[in-house]
Amino acid sequence: MSILILIVGVLLFIALVIIHEFGHFWVAKRNGVEPEEFGVFFPPALFKRKTKKGWVFSINLLPLGGFVKLRGEHDSDTQPGSFGAASLLAKSKIMAAGVFFNLVTAVILLIILAWIGLPQLVSNQFNVSGSASHISRQEVLVTSVQSHSPAASIGIASEDQIVAIGHPGALKPVSTITDLQQLTHEYAGQQVNVEFKTNGEEHIKSVNLLSSAEVGASLKTNNPKGYFGVTLASLTMRQYSWWAGPVEAVGLTLQVIKLTFTGLGHALVGLGHIIAGLVTGNTTARQHGQAIASSQVAGPIGIFVILKDGSLLGYQYMLFIIAIISLTLAIMNILPLPALDGGRLWLTLIFRSLGKKLSASLEETINAIGMFILITLIILISLVDIHRFF
């Protein structure tokens, strides 16, 4: 089941790219600007087909986003039907359309989740208080099992739900990760019964937990062990009434936007430490900066790992992750970063405020530099992801 959810998650992530680019495509056509190509991912092309309406649909090799190529994309172009000939308002709407479509997609997904079961993943997550909501699901799932551990000896596997643990006839329920941590510490070195579910089927098996001495000794080695030997995820989902669902979705969206900008601030601070460390030769400052910056970002590899981990927790968690990614795409694309929508929009607005139009050569140079920096960052982040997750 988790493999199917992962496949759906990857397809939904690709759909976010398509939705973003469709925003540019649709708004451009509505404002009289003719599209020439609609591309999923970045070239080189793997597949190209010209439609009956004259524009080209392509699927490309590099999974770094997507693009819509418009007729006369330079701000200085003047031929009818070109992007350059459109009004400043039309250009602004076209460049902001992808951001708007991703934002709306995120809110719609969160509204649906609020009605069917919204995971509680964000620290101090925004919640509509009162009788408008209730906890619909609360359980602890296994995400990985240490080899040769007590859990492995009784056949515990990823995606199993830990229900209870304790002595025979006196099992204590496990509703949170903290519950299991406290109970395994309490019963350290003892024989206990563990109640768990595999694909909905209940099992109760007896096992000896590791002692405090064994766990303490393992912490001094390269193979630290736990009393039970599992990595866990706590699943809590809350459902909202028909009117509270949209309120919850908007409130959570605003909270995630704030958290995203806070994370970007931390990443910039980390980048500052890296630069200072390189300039001064301070290795400690550089390594500290790398740790701060890398903890706030993820590239294509990191996103796949996040989707894979989310697939173990169920389709609601996968949809939640997709909603957050959609919201993140909206935020990143509105920032004044060259080569992205926000960079082009702000650059155009700045030049128009100065009473000038961007020349084709200057626009191409700025976007080329921005694209080079963007691809370089993606490569570096991917290397960090490989080190972090593998």
- pLDDT, tens digit, for every residue of 64-115? 788 999 998 877 788 889 998 899 999 999 999 999 999 999 999 999 999 9
**Residue 292: what pLDDT?**
46
Based on the domain organization, do 11 and 111 belong to the same domain?
yes
One-character DSSP codes across 201-218: EEEEEEEEPPPHHHHHHH
* 302 pLDDT higher than 70: no
Domain boundary among 240, 271, 294: 240
Q: Which of 171-180, 340-349, 357-366 has the lowest mean pLDDT?
A: 357-366
Task: Please choose, from the candidates 318, 142, 344, the residue with its C-alpha nearest in 3D space to the C-alpha of residue 228.
Answer: 142
Based on the domain organization, do 92 and 153 belong to the same domain?
no
Based on the domain organization, do 98 and 152 belong to the same domain?
no
Based on the domain organization, do 65 and 138 belong to the same domain?
no
Distance CA 125, CA 133 (A): 14
- pLDDT, tens digit, for every residue of 363-378? 778 878 877 777 777 6
- pLDDT, tens digit, for every residue of 101-144? 999 999 999 999 999 999 987 778 899 977 788 888 888 889 88
Domain boundary among 240, 262, 277: 240
**Residue 73: what pLDDT?**
84
Based on the domain organization, do 75 and 21 belong to the same domain?
yes
Based on the domain organization, do 173 and 199 belong to the same domain?
yes
* 248 pLDDT higher than 50: yes
State how many domains the chain has.
2
Residue type present at position 65: G
Q: Is residue 299 part of a domain?
A: no
Can you say how many angstroms the Cα of residue 150 is from the centroid of all Cα atoms in its chain? 33
Based on the domain organization, do 9 and 111 belong to the same domain?
yes
Q: Is residue 288 part of a domain?
A: no
User: Checking DSSP bridges between strand 56-70 and strand 118-119, what pairing results, if any?
Assistant: unpaired
Distance CA 288, CA 383 (A): 17
The domain that holds 147 is classified in CATH as 2.30.42.10
Q: Is residue 291 part of a domain?
A: no
Based on the domain organization, do 145 and 226 belong to the same domain?
yes
The radius of gyration computed from the CA coordinates of the chain, to the nearest angstrom, equals: 25
Based on the domain organization, do 150 and 106 belong to the same domain?
no
User: Checking DSSP bridges between strand 133-145 and strand 201-208, what pairing results, if any?
Assistant: unpaired
Q: Is residue 344 part of a domain?
A: yes
Q: Is residue 280 part of a domain?
A: no
Residue type present at position 263: G
Based on the domain organization, do 108 and 8 belong to the same domain?
yes
Can you say how many angstroms the Cα of residue 229 is from the centroid of all Cα atoms in its chain? 28
**Residue 306: what pLDDT?**
67
Based on the domain organization, do 160 and 192 belong to the same domain?
yes
Q: Which domain holds residue 143?
A: 133-240
